[in-house]
Amino acid sequence: MNRTIDQYTVHYKGLKIGRHHFDFEVDDSFFEQFDEGEIKKGKINVSVELERHNLMLEFRFNIKGLVEVECDRCLDPFMLPISFKGDLFVKITENENVNDDEIWFISNNEHQVNLAQYIYESINLSLPLKRYHGISGTNESDCDPIMLNRLKLTKNNTINNSSSNGIDPRWEKLKDLQIDNNNTN
Ligand SMILES: [Zn+2]
């Protein structure tokens, strides 16, 4: 495990049964570790409450910050505020089990849990489907006006190119063919 990812490790074996609190910072170097992802930049605080039981760890996450995304309208990158709350249960067991999103299984031989993957996935889950200037308290007037105009022109051209009565020109042609067929019959 590299040093950046290693920072998000909780060494639970040394912790007493009961409640513990952790704070993690997520920055650009964090996202560099997940190079397949869309997010490249961000500044996020991850606050974690851990309740340690004998054979179970309950993590409660509160993730808040800013990530850089591309505006759907003007294609400019901008900082979007995100927030996410989620729970992760880690069971300590010798039985073979398959991890899912909210329940992980570790063996008693493992002394630590690394939370980087969970944090990364949670940040991605917190992203809205559409991202544009004006969403989540960002400024609509930050939309790049030159780009917006250019995109508007392209859109208008596409509309003008299609036939005036709104019917796809290919269908128009097909209709003519059908009429021809009828005439020959
Ligand atoms: Zn924009």
Are 64 and 25 spatial neighbours (Cβ–Cβ below 8 Å)? no
User: Residue 9 — φ and ψ, nearest 5°?
Assistant: -95, 135
- Helix, strand, coil shares of the chain, percent, nearest 5, are 35, 30, 35
Taking only the tens of pLDDT, the chain with its 185 residues reads 688 899 999 999 999 999 999 999 999 999 999 978 889 999 999 999 999 999 999 999 999 999 999 999 999 999 999 999 999 999 999 888 888 889 999 999 999 999 999 999 999 999 999 999 999 999 999 999 888 888 887 777 776 655 445 555 555 555 555 555 555 44
Q: Which residues surround ligand 1, an ion (CB under 5 A)?
A: 71, 73-74, 133, 143
Are 149 and 157 spatial neighbours (Cβ–Cβ below 8 Å)? no
CA distance 116 to 8: 6
Task: State how beta strands 103-106 and 77-92 pair.
Answer: parallel
How many A from CA of 65 to the centre of ligand 1? 20
How many A from CA of 155 to the centre of ligand 1? 16
Residue 58 parent element (H or E): strand 56-70
How many A from CA of 85 to the centre of ligand 1? 27
